[in-house]
A and B are shown apart, each in its own frame.
Chain A
Amino acid sequence: MLKSGDVPELNKTDLLDFYRQMKLIREFERESERQYTRGNIKGFLHVYNGEEAIAVGSINTLRPDDYVVTHYRDHGQALARGITSSEVMAELMGKATGCSQGKGGSMHLFSSELNFMGGYAIVGGQLTIAAGIGMAIQYRGADQVVLCFFGDGAVNEGEFHEAMNLAAIWKLPVIFFCEHNLYGMGASSKETLVMWDSLHKMADAYGMANYEVDGNDVLAVRGLMRKVNAEVRSGKGPAFIVARTYRLRGHSVADPANYRPETEVEYWTTQDPIPRFQDWLTDEGIATVEDFEEIDAAVNDEVVLAAEFAESSPWPEPAALYHGVYADRPAEGIPT
């Protein structure tokens, strides 16, 4: 890992804020699983435990006018981008106050205000959309970037290839960011993805800059993203980042994940990004137990409040069923 001297631009407040953000995601997911068991959250719930360093390390390097596009495992990125925990929790519960007004659910979080262009639940679907956002940036001659997240499973989809090739041939300002957690649902990538152990090299086929990073090391992710960000912003074309990480929970809360070897789970538990960062902060003499306790308490309060807000929020009005299908006209079939 880095030494604190390697990141002189970060002071204690910044570093502790990274800790806070990761902890917020972890606690948010703990609460969302609890609310799922209580029946307040329905359908699919894909939690982000173990991958927090990726969202926090990367999204914090973006400008407010940059764009984020992601997949259905999107709570972490949404929170790191600044959608409030209350709005995300309300969305998970399908409430009118949710960040997608309860119309999207856990897998489809959006915020136009934050250029959070959505969570997408058709594996691979968002990659082509990210390429199009990159086209819009290029068309205007602007210097924003698009950060597009997806999993190792998505690399198998044709849309990955179509998007990578288009972005490369037209030098679009897109950072394709693969959260390589070794599984796509229950399928081990070792069995499904021929390049699983050197996934970043797939971008060689598109002549695209590519990097591998320890996805459980928030400062490593941040460091790499700062560099890649600057390059992509300067018009050098897209880049492919593969962050090696691990899903500490099942694919969704319905999945006990007992297809995974115990030793593998044990190993990755030792790589949990949050204790790792805590140890680093402690070893470097940056933070004390009291600092962590203070943050943990604040995070806990925030999550409790988010759940209370969501639970007490109203359902969407029945009439909302028909709202938002079209911009220009009412939906078909509205009862008269």
Chain B
Amino acid sequence: MPVITYRDAVSTALREALDEDERIFLMGEDIGPYGGAFAVTKGFWEQYGSRRIKDSPLAESVIVGAGVGAAMAGLRPVVELMTINFSLLAMDQIVNHAAKIRYMSGGQFTIPLIIRTVTGAGASVGATHSQSFEGWYASVPGLTVVTPSTPKDVLGLFRTCRDLNDPVLFVEHILLYSTRGETPAPANFRIPIGQAEVRRTGKDITLCGYSRMALVAEQAAAILADEGIAADVIDLRCLRPLDMETVVNSVKKTHRAVMVEETTRLGGFAGELVSQIQEAAFDYLDAPIARVAGEEVPIPYSFPLEQLAIPDARRVAAAARKILNRPA
């Protein structure tokens, strides 16, 4: 299997989309000659021209709103919000319009719109540029929220999302663009939405995360393995629709679980996971479900402080030992 970067996976997925479907165009800030804030669309503007690659004004609301309008009129736009932090300026269009027009119109209009954006902390870019709002958007009926953590998932999920007829928030992680991974060669390789992946299997405990935190959970599992603890590691890959079946089945087997996420604990998505697990598998639990989440602070700039604010493998392993009653 070829090994490519996460960035290449996004670029490849976008190129395929442009090559295969004339109704698809890209729009976003600096995606043209500049090549995209994360160099994902480098060379696109030169190759496809300004009709397909629309370098938009600095105006998030109209980027999404115009995407909604173009989708209602029969196109399949893929728009980019430079990072999820700036999505707040487009939240009206995402939540009040994209997510609701189909329902409010009695099903008359569909919105086949992909909103690509970038989430995550850890890049030393300060409190306003380091947030993880994907969990908020996952609470909105009408949206689909996808959070790939590997090049394979980027490709497989984007190909699926391209064919959906509903608005998708496709959430890439700021720290993952240069990570590498194997991707299946067949061009028709796809991953269905709403299907979590068991990235590692073990009988003792379930570690569950999404986006970069799925990788952190995997690192924690490696630490625990050295101590003789075998963990199931689950990458949700998609927050809405949410594959609880895979999570619950794992917990029924391991009887213990740790939920990992980058955003704050209060009001975070992990709380929802915990709630659904106890509803479905209360009798199987041998310990309270643990959460490892971001600290209740704005993400600080200073490197050592920032590292304290976001979960890492060490802390996930510690949480696992605690509910397993193992000494550190």
Interface set of A (CB-CB < 8 Å, partner B): 67, 69, 98-104, 108, 110-112, 117-118, 120, 122, 125, 127-137, 139, 158-159, 161-163, 165-166, 169-170, 323-329, 331-332
Q: Is the CB of B69 within 8 A of A103?
A: no
The interface size bin for chain B is 35 or more
Q: Does B49 contact A (CB under 8 A)?
A: no
The verdict on B246 contacting chain A, using a C-beta distance below 8 Å, is no
Shortest beta-carbon contacts, A-B, top 10: A132-B69, A128-B65, A101-B106, A132-B66, A136-B73, A110-B105, A327-B165, A324-B107, A162-B62, A129-B69
Q: Across the interface, do B104 and A100 meet the contact criterion of CB distance under 8 Å?
A: yes
Contact B108–A132 (Cβ < 8 Å): no
B51, chain A: closest CB distance, angstroms: 7
The answer on a CB contact under 8 Å between B109 and A165 is: no
Query: Shortest beta-carbon distance, B195 to chain A, in Å?
Result: 12
- B306 sits at the interface (CB 8 A): no
Contacts beyond the supplied A129-B69, A327-B110, A329-B241: 20 A-B pairs with Cβ under 8 Å: A100-B104, A102-B106, A103-B105, A103-B106, A104-B106, A112-B109, A118-B109, A122-B96, A125-B93, A128-B61, A128-B69, A132-B72, A139-B70, A162-B57, A163-B65, A165-B62, A166-B62, A166-B66, A325-B141, A329-B194
Nearest A residue to B72 via CB reads A117
Q: Measured between C-beta atoms, what is the minimum distance from A132 to chain B in Å?
A: 2
Selected contact of B69 from candidates A110, A131, A323, CB within 8 Å: A131
Cβ-based interface call for B122 (8 A): no
The A contact surface, by secondary structure, is mixed
Q: Inside 8 A of B74's CB, which chain A residues have their CB?
A: 136
Closest to B105 in A: A110
Q: A132 CA to B74 CA in the complex, in Å?
A: 11
Cα of A323 to Cα of B194 in the assembled complex, Å? 19
**Closest approach, in angstroms, between the C-beta of A256 and any C-beta of chain B?**
29
Select the residue from A99, A108, A122, A324 with max chain B CB neighbours within 10 A.
A324
Q: Is B159 an interface residue (CB 8 A)?
A: no
Residues A139 and B69 in contact in the complex (CB < 8 Å), given A101-B107, A162-B57: no
Q: Which residues of B contact A (CB under 8 A)?
A: 25, 51, 54, 56-57, 59, 61-62, 64-75, 77, 92-93, 96-97, 101-110, 112, 141-142, 144, 164-166, 194, 240-242
The minimal Cβ–Cβ distance linking B11 to chain A, given in whole angstroms, is: 22
Q: How distant is B280 from chain A, measured CB to nearest CB, in Å?
A: 13
Check B57 against A169 for contact (C-beta < 8 Å): yes
Assess the B65–A132 pair: CB atoms within 8 A: yes
Q: Is the CB of B103 within 8 A of A325?
A: yes
Q: How far is the CA of A104 from the CA of B103 in the complex (A)?
A: 8
- The 26 listed contacts between A and B (C-beta, < 8 Å) are A104-B105, A112-B108, A117-B73, A118-B101, A120-B97, A122-B97, A125-B96, A125-B97, A129-B66, A129-B72, A129-B97, A132-B77, A133-B69, A133-B70, A133-B72, A135-B70, A137-B73, A162-B59, A165-B59, A166-B66, A324-B103, A324-B105, A324-B107, A328-B165, A328-B166, A332-B141
Specify which of A110, A117, A127 is in contact with B65 (CB 8 Å cutoff). Answer: A127
**Given A132-B67, A136-B73, A110 and B104 touching (CB < 8 A)?**
yes
- Asked if A132 contacts B71 (CB within 8 A), the reply is yes
- List of B residues within 8 angstroms of A101 by Cβ: 106-107
Measured CA separation A110–B112 after assembly (Å): 18
Residue in B72, B73, B93 whose Cβ sees the most chain A Cβ within 10 Å: B73
A165 to B51, CA, bound (A): 18
Whether B56 contacts A166 by the Cβ 8 Å rule is yes
Given contacts A132-B70, A135-B70, contact A323 B62 (CB under 8 A): no
Task: Give the CA-CA distance A331 to B102 in the complex, in Å.
Answer: 12
Residue of B nearest to A115 (CB): B73
Asked if A100 meets B70 with Cβ closer than 8 Å, knowing A128-B62, A166-B62, the reply is: no
B73 touches A103 (CB 8 A): no
Contact check, B62 vs A103: say whether CB atoms are below 8 A apart: no
B102's partner among A67, A137, A158, A326 (CB-CB below 8 A) is: A326
The reply to whether B57 and A165 contact each other, CB–CB distance below 8 Å, is: yes
Q: Which residues of B contact A108 (CB under 8 A)?
A: 104-105
Complex CA gap A30/B93 in Å reads 33
Docked-complex contact B166 and A112, CB < 8 angstroms: no
In the bound assembly, the distance between CA atoms of A169 and B92 in angstroms comes to 23
Partner of B61, one of A99, A100, A120, A158: A158
A139 to B57, CA, bound (A): 18
Distance in angstroms from A317 CB to nearest chain B CB is 13
Task: Please name all residues of chain A whose beta carbon is closer than 8 Å to the beta carbon of B166 when the two chains form the complex.
Answer: 326-329
Contact B142 A326 (CB under 8 A): yes
A122 CA / B241 CA spacing, docked (Å): 27
Point out the residues of chain A lying under 8 angstroms from B142, CB to CB. 325-326
Least CB distance, B324 to chain A, in whole angstroms: 33
Chain A: minimal CB distance from B5 (Å)? 30
Contact B110 A111 (CB under 8 A): no
Report Cα–Cα, A227/B64, bound state, in Å.
Answer: 31
**Chain B: minimal CB distance from A222 (Å):** 25
Q: Specify which chain A residues have a CB less than 8 angstroms from the CB of B164 in the assembled complex.
A: 327-328
Tell which of A133, A134, A331 has the most Cβ of chain B within 10 Å: A133
Which A residues are CB-close (under 8 A) to B242?
332
| B105 and A131 form a contact (CB under 8 A) | no
- CA gap between A107 and B208 in the complex, in Å: 42
Closest to B163 in A: A328
Assess A324 versus B102: contact at CB under 8 Å? Given A112-B108, A128-B65, A130-B69: yes
Assess whether B73 is in contact with A133, with CB atoms less than 8 Å apart: yes
Query: Which residues in A have their C-beta under 8 angstroms from that of B75?
Result: 135-136, 139
**Whole-angstrom distance between the alpha carbons of A324 and B73 in the complex?**
18
Closest to B100 in A: A108
**Chain A residue, CB-CB nearest to B113:** A132
Q: Which residues of B contact A132 (CB under 8 A)?
A: 65-73, 77
